[in-house]
Copies of this chain bind each other. A is one copy, B any other.
Amino acid sequence: MEQVKVVLRDDEIPRRWYNIQADLPTPMSPPLHPGTGQPVKPEDLAPVFPMNLIEQEASSERWIDIPEPVLQKYALWRPTPLCRARNFEKLLDAPVKIYYKNEGYSPAGSHKPNTAIPQAYYNKEFGIKRLSTETGAGQWGSALSMACQMFGLECRVFMVRVSYEQKPYRRMMMNVWGAECIPSPSVRTAAGRKVLEEHPDSPGSLGIAISEAVEDAVTGKDARYSLGSVLNHVLLHQTVIGLEAKKQFEKIGEYPDVVLGCAGGGSNFAGISLPFVMDRIHGKQVRIVGAEPSSCPTLTRGPFGYDHGDLACMTPLLPMYTLGHDFVPAPIHAGGLRYHGMAPIVSHLLKENLIEARSYNQLETFDAGVKWARTEGFIPAPETTHAIAAVVEEAQRAKEEGKERTILFNWSGHGLVDLASYDAYLTGKLSQYELPEEEIERAKRTISRYPRL
């Protein structure tokens, strides 16, 4: 029998997260206060996040210990197997070995619990009683609901109304885990009421939902806000994926030539790739590639500059590739990749040419996803199909060049709660979106208001 999976025991879960801020060849620009335009100070963030996470956000320690209670919860499904996609390799008929980390094995079905668990833990440690957050497609909201339940915190999730209505299964998952899921805009917050007064039938947006969640957190007693991507500490927590993968490659005496992940806010991509970027910084030959939708091509076409993380301009200005905080993404099914910005760490790495980026339209990605499901069995999330499309492209290049290649990618989650998108694809109802050039010009104008980088 040919080996398909490299498994690790519970006691082989990495004991420390990797903080790439310690290894960056050039320093990152600081986030700026939205009001003053000055670098954000820890106390500015104190109403929003607990101080232990704020410290982690700014830390330059290379290794940060994973607390024992977090490890114990990780062990419910971690380490995830490193799997070799031998059947997909045969289909592609190219000189490649394809490995993937199956993050769909978590109870919520994606990589999101890797940061939801520690965020709930650190908030609990800090004396917080309730977390508020927003969710678009629902992956993040469900992961945080589970994590809060496990650490005895209340959880409130503001879910974009159109998703709340179209994706009832995600809301139901949150309820099973004891969270309250509220369609946004809601009457619960001033931000929500303002929108509803002007647009009673508003379908909502991630921008509105963020505003509601932040307001709900900062006005609540012993409450804080939680974010599922973009920020440094979120990416830090996700590095457990790449660190495990490196241990697993060591066991079989291999090392990837290319590391791939889909990139929305940047957390799953960073999670698998940052430990390999570390090696690259230290001279190792390894390429790192982020895959994004051609309809939301932040890394491949967006300008680099300071921009807000949200539509309402409440968040600090972050140094990042961005399509402008006023960008309205096309209604593609990979909800997790419809974000205008990109994690500052990931943006900085691209700026420094330490990583690459590619974009794919959703007809290409669903084609890759269906081929995957029909050979490897597991049905990938719409987001994950972008990474698979990048694998297909890498394999084709390898074939053309006649060069062998070992590919590693992050299978960020399964698509069992997103099957309607596959149905739309298989029945010819999906459209292909390419972002018009005017949108890039608009993005440049948007960020021209803020300090230059």
Q: Decide if A68 is an interface residue (CB 8 Å cutoff).
A: yes
**Across the interface, do B422 and A176 meet the contact criterion of CB distance under 8 Å?**
yes
Provide the A1-22 mask, 1 if CB < 8 A to any CB of B, else 0: 1111101111101000000000
Whether A149 and B374, one on each chain, are in contact in the complex, defined by CB atoms closer than 8 angstroms, is: yes
Quick one: copies of this chain in the complex?
A: 2
A76-B377 contact given A1-B11, A10-B4, A176-B426, CB 8 Å threshold? yes
Query: A109-B416, A377-B76, A377-B77 given as contacts; is B4 within 8 A of A175 (CB)?
Result: no
Question: Would you give the shortest CB distance from A83 to chain B, in whole angstroms?
Answer: 8
B178 and A374 contacting across the interface, CB-CB below 8 Å:
yes
- Please determine whether B1 and A416 come into contact, CB atoms closer than 8 angstroms: no
| Complex Cα gap A279–B61 (Å) | 55
Partner of A107 from B106, B113, B146, B377 at Cβ < 8 Å: B377
Binds B, one of A165-173, A239-247, A343-351, A391-399: A165-173
| Neighbouring B residues of A177 by C-beta, 8 Å | 373-374
- A4, A5, A377, A426 pick with most chain B CB within 10 angstroms: A377
Give 1 or 0 for each of A419-440: 1 = CB within 8 Å of chain B CB: 1101100100000000000000
Tell whether, in the assembled complex, residue B1 and residue A68 are in contact, meaning their CB atoms are under 8 Å apart.
Answer: yes
Question: Beta-carbon contacts of A367-402 to B below 8 Å, as 1s and 0s?
Answer: 000100111111100000000000000000000000
- Tell me which residues across on chain B come within 8 A of A150, comparing CB atoms: 87, 374-375, 377
A8, B9: Cα distance in complex, Å: 9
Q: Which residue of chain B lies nearest to A109 when distances are taken between CB atoms in the complex?
A: B416
Most buried by B among A106, A113, A168, A379: A379
Tell me if A417 is interfacial: C-beta within 8 Å of chain B: yes
Residues 131 to 154 of chain A near chain B (Cβ within 8 Å):
146, 149-150
Asked if A71 CB lies within 8 Å of chain B CBs, one says yes
Give 1 or 0 for each of A65-96: 1 = CB within 8 Å of chain B CB.
00010011101110000010001000000000
A105 contacts the other chain (CB 8 A): yes
Interface centre among A4, A172, A375, A420 (most CB of B within 10 A): A172
